[in-house]
Amino acid sequence: MHNLNKSTIQCLIVDDEPLARDVIRLYIEKVPVLHLAGECGNAIDAMMFLHNEKVDLIFLDILMPHLTGTDFVKSLRNIPKVIFTTAYKEYALEGFELNVVDYLLKPIRFDRFLRAVSKAFSQKNEELANNIPVVLPPEKKSNSGFIYMKVERKMIKVMFDDIIYIESARDYLKVITQTNTIITRQTLSSFEAMLSDNEFIRIHRSYIVSLKKINSFTHDTVDVGVRELPLGKFYLNSFLKLQH
């Protein structure tokens, strides 16, 4: 059992998609008042986790194998704060009927994540709520126009305007620019957190593209000139919204 610190919020991530867990884990790490108590790939494992551990907040997917997120909430006696995380907005009404704190649509923006967490504890604990940042971290709003990337022992300056797309290759990233390809050891989710939402968009679990470099697209591909990249169904709605 955790020896809970009153100044921290113990969080549990429950989602069957590793990519979705990566994003929430990254966001939790960015907020000092949040602590990741654990993560589970399904609701059954989460149920067992809660038998042994105490958590304050659950980030819960809805559509999961064996037991849905909504049925999981219904099965709990002592329910922690719950924030639903899902790609399907049609489940929003059922979520709010279960008195969950908030309902986040994937792909989840960091500022939206912060608002949901702040909402969860604004009434319960004013001190905790005041320690939750209400704006994006400086690097997210950076107008510097460039980023430094570690390549072997050097820090290489890469201009945002030069980036065509970024590709995930396991623990490495390939950043394809107009002049060369840069390979660095970093996750796609952590790199995405440093990019401007107005200039880049994630189109697939393995790809982020520059909005300026898109030449054409269909409902399953994005042409950035040098390559035709896959457009994942998970990211389709968010991508289409930015094209209007």
- Give residue-wise pLDDT tens across range 98-111: 788 888 888 788 88
Domain of 227?
139-241
> Would you say 117 and 94 are in contact if contact means Cβ atoms under 8 Å apart?
no
Report the pLDDT value the prediction gives residue 144, as an integer from 0 to 100: 59
What is the arithmetic mean of pLDDT over 120-140?
49
In this prediction, residue 122 carries a pLDDT of 64
Cα separation, 185 vs 163, whole angstroms: 17
In whole angstroms, what is the distance from residue 93 CA to residue 130 CA?
Answer: 29
Question: How far, in Å, are 88, 203, 215, 237, 241 from residue 244 at the CA level?
Answer: 21, 16, 15, 12, 6
- At 129, the pLDDT band (50, 70, 90 cuts) reads very low
What the block records as the tokens of 139 is: 């690097």
pTM of full prediction above 0.85: no
- Are residues 145 and 123 part of one domain? no
At 61 the pLDDT is: 93
User: Is residue 153 domain-shared with residue 92, that is, in the same domain?
Assistant: no
Q: Are residues 109 and 166 in the same domain?
A: no
Angle 21-75-20 (CA atoms, 0-180°, nearest 5)?
10
**HEC sequence for 117-170:** HHHHHCCCCHHHHHCCCCCCCHHHHCCCCEEEEEECCEEEEEEHHHEEEEEEEC
If one counts the domains in the chain, the total is 2
Cis-peptide, bond into residue 80, ω within 30° of zero: no
Read off φ and ψ for residue 102, nearest 5 degrees: -160, 175
Q: Which residues contact 187 (CB under 8 A, 6 or more apart)?
A: 22, 26, 168, 171, 173
Tell me: the pLDDT tens digits for 131-188?
A: 454 433 434 434 457 777 777 777 788 888 999 999 988 768 899 999 999 988 777 8
Shared domain for 99 and 149, answered yes or no, is: no
CATH no. for residue 18?
3.40.50.2300
What average pLDDT score do residues 24-41 get?
90
My answer on whether 18 and 115 are in the same domain is yes
* pLDDT at residue 199 tops 70: yes
